Amino acid sequence: MSTWTPIGNAHDLQTELTHNLNGLKELDFDGKKIVLSFYEGQFGALNNKCNHMGAPLAKGKLKKGCVECPWHYWHFQHQTGEGVLTEMNRNYVANPGTVPTFPLKIENGTLFINLEGESERQKAEFKSSSNLAREVKREPGPLRVLGLSTTVMDPEYPRYSTSEDLLISALDRARAELGVETRTLKLAELNFRHCEGFYSKSERACTWPCSITKIDPNDQMIQVYENLVHWSDIVIVSTPIRWGNASSLYYKMAERLNSVQNRLLVEDKRLIKNKTAGFIITGGQDNIQSVAGEMLNFFGELGFVMPAFPYVAHSLGWSAEKMEANMDFVRSNQALHDGAFALVKRNVELAGQLVGSASGVSSVKTN
């Protein structure tokens, strides 16, 4: 015989759910958590765990008869628990599955639930896993240097950038003189979304691959992830100084890289191993050491190792407002270009030691 457990007065519950900002109520029966809802004259009761990553559904919202997960916005029909494909999951989900439901009844104005009648969960089915999720394994070959330019500019009207110029000249020379492979990514040419704060909801909500990358097939941050995590041995980041700070594009990228660092927290898994990083910092304003300090700290937290003298920099100083002269100076100053190349060379030497011959690194000319 089924056991029916009273929840409360049906009218009062209806009123409460109607006036709740999210339209949901969490019930707890000896540790069994349930999300209660009311829509178009009907109550619904679902298991409180989302089919995706187990997020608490009661902290989400009721939208047009569906319970929306608070973490990644999956939808489940509030009475049947059936998952719904939406623009937020259809890119990586084949079938959202079904969240378990509980029978409800109203007798003498009281709403009852049958806890023993919980239906079976139908697990979600995912499309082929993102290639980013593959095992991080270095392929044999020469050392690989990734240049990341964070200068903001309109690609339709490109301008000269002192930091980008030093980066590109250093990579060109490293390719010719050190026998390394090089790639350059200019963040200004990539269309990628801002971090949307999944980590702020729960550390487990910030996933690898990044939740945004999985949701949005057009998000080009995937190019940074692929090259940073899977391809490169060495990363050289260039930035201008903007009001005493690094480029706004640098910070936009850094926020999205939380999904890389967060693997250590939630999975004890390190994505960045045996990789080095260096930095090129230029600008018409001072504050170089502060900018360098922030970048060194952040890339260290990602797992990168820095060589001695890990950055090169140039500034005319706080009071100098002669930007045309600054551009001409950097463009023609061989010492600055030699310094940028020396930075890459130091990283190549250290990366060669870290990676070692066991990984198939060919000999690197550093003399």
Specify the fold of 131-359: Rossmann fold (3.40.50)
Query: Which pLDDT belongs to residue 326?
Result: 78
Contact criterion met (CB below 8 Å) for 159 and 224: no
Q: Measure the CA–CA gap between 152 and 252, rounded to whole angstroms.
A: 11
How far apart CA 254 and CA 252 sit, in angstroms, is 6
pLDDT digits (tens, 9 = 90+) for 36-79: 999 999 999 999 999 999 999 999 999 999 999 999 999 999 99
Confidence at residue 327, expressed as pLDDT on a 0 to 100 scale: 83
**Residue 176 pLDDT:** 97
Are 278 and 167 within 8 A, CB to CB?
no
At residue 243, the pLDDT reads 86
How many helices (H) and strands (E) are present in the chain, helices listed first?
10, 17
Q: What pLDDT is stored for residue 366 in this prediction?
A: 53
- Would you list the domain boundaries of the chain? 5-126, 131-359
Give tens-digit pLDDT for 104-125: 999 999 999 999 999 999 999 9
Residues of the chain with pLDDT under 70: 1, 129, 284-285, 317-323, 357-367
pLDDT number for residue 361: 53
DSSP notation for 69-108: PTTT--EEETTT-BEE--TTTTTTEEE--B--B--EEEET
CATH number of 5-126: 2.102.10.10
pTM confidence score: 0.90
Average per-residue pLDDT for the chain: 93
